[in-house]
A and B are shown apart, each in its own frame.
Chain A
């Protein structure tokens, strides 16, 4: 690479650079616009010009938008996101380890995972929704057969945040988790593990003290993927959620009813949460890297 630096840039460089710059502008421009517009004054509307600068619409947002309890939806999405993140990390790492060994049916599992990744989300969502409705029917039939009328009356649905919605999100986050694990273990040098084994480490010690520290930054990355993919997910959740909605679903509903800049304020808030999660994660990766360097150096 270094030898090529002194070469003159080919004629195609500048047109391509301009295309790239325009693309970046296209990606960021609109988001920047709603970020600015969320600070409209109380008189301001959905478009420019700005009528003053204030936090008015953030205050309106905190009061709630119509009948929708945004705060509760935000907490639900955060809770689900954290649950998805933990499940994605644990299950992907375990599966990644399993795929390094001789795994009967591993190819079939791999194809199922890829199929899940490219399946139109509405189909997966519909299937999970159906599954849980049929489970509901089954439970109700059993309760009726047992004559447990009070339980039958009290029974709502098994569809919910930490049942069907969690499962729906995992069919979307786990494929990414597994593919990242593949990428990690492809570059992983098993000599370290062998050394640990030769020195008498048990498999668990080998994993906890050798493998895990080495793959830690990627594991954190998987967690970040899991959280952000869940945090924004709509299509897979849409049919697989019960009576309460996650934040993106509420947001989707609000797009047609809320006509004030408070929806931009909401956009700014959710974006800030995404970026905060990303920032904390990158900080964590950086700290892990430093610690490792500190130890080896």
Chain B
């Protein structure tokens, strides 16, 4: 099953008039036209506009794009602000992607292949999804009493005489940002991977072990390739969320760590919409390239 074709579109089960179908889909379509397509088009348009302190000035200029990459051609002073920001954002995306993939795959694998009764399976799966229903900000600040200077982790380590002074990098650091991301979004990996694992025909695994494959060989040559769709979907979710995030990085980074999303947010708060729009267009291009690369990467492996 390829991700480029809608896999679950129900076939035209009911013969019906196309016109009636369109009336049913019209309100739904209208929402996406008004709140998705037009806004995206406006972002592209406004990214070429000029602006002053009070208003947007319609026109056509590359000024916004030029100012984003200002100083990027000169590498002697290290990376320019924009490239640094992208480097930091990509670093977070990669780390979070890797960790959530490993954890998500392991948890999904355990649920799908080691839990035998379907009732227990459902119960454990629901157990994993429940935290997902709590506000993201609450789940972020719930790390504060654990990781803070006087938090539980430091208190424990000090009382065990393992350290003398509290560890400072636990909170408001790269570490806490990655931790919070993993805490918040591993669900987005588990669900699609679990979903594709449940569709794997169990007789294929028996066939593999009957043919003498070891557990690892079965895992690597049968289960991983057949979970491909779930892995790609989960990866796309996690990567796009982290690439555009500004809330988690803001709260867990103590407002000190830069990210592309945060730049866009700050620029809009100063009403620099054309600059923010230009940044959004670049972010969109980067995200689309990652998604494209990801699907290519996995398809290539399938060919081998």
Contact = CB atoms under 8 A, between A and B. Distances in A.
A123 B131 CA distance: 26
A23 interface: yes
B270 interface: no
A33 B145 contact: yes
Contact of A267 (B109, B124, B141): B141
Given A94-B24, A104-B22, A232 B42 contact: no
B293 interface: no
A127 B261 contact: no
A188 to B, nearest CB: 8
Contacts, number: 291
Interface stretch (A107-115, A153-161, A285-293): A107-115
Interface string B1-41: 00000101110111111101111110111011011111110
B40 A274 contact: no
Interface string A106-129: 110111111110111111101111
Given A126-B277, A235-B247, A179 B148 contact: no
Interface residues of A, number: 99
A102 B18 contact: yes
B283 A104 contact: no
A95 B24 contact: yes
Given A30-B143, A234-B247, A167 B34 contact: yes
B101 interface: no
Contact of A91 (B31, B38, B142): B31
A139 to B, nearest CB: 15
Interface in B127-153: 127-128, 131, 133-146, 148, 150-152
B39 A127 contact: yes
B224 interface: no
Given A251-B135, A255-B140, A99 B43 contact: no
B96 interface: no
Interface in B213-250: 215, 236-237, 240-241, 243-247, 250
Interface string A8-49: 011011001101100110111111011001000000001110
Interface stretch (A55-63, A65-73, A142-150, A170-178): A170-178
A251 B14 contact: no
Interface string A225-259: 00010011011001100000000100110011000
Contact of B142 (A33, A185, A234): A33
B277 A130 contact: yes
A167 B242 CA distance: 23
A186 B150 CA distance: 53
A5 B27 contact: no
A122 B262 CA distance: 9
A123 B25 CA distance: 25
Contacts of A113: 32
B166 to A, nearest CB: 11
15 contacts: A95-B28, A97-B21, A100-B16, A102-B18, A106-B9, A118-B240, A119-B240, A120-B287, A123-B43, A123-B283, A131-B42, A183-B8, A238-B246, A267-B141, A270-B135
Interface of B: 6, 8-10, 12-18, 20-25, 27-29, 31-32, 34-40, 42-43, 46, 55-56, 103, 106-107, 109-111, 114, 116-118, 124, 127-128, 131, 133-146, 148, 150-152, 155, 183, 186, 215, 236-237, 240-241, 243-247, 250-251, 255, 261, 264-265, 268, 273, 276-277, 280, 283-284, 287, 291
Given A109-B28, A128-B35, A238-B247, 9 more contacts: A46-B145, A100-B13, A107-B6, A116-B36, A120-B240, A120-B283, A126-B280, A239-B265, A251-B135
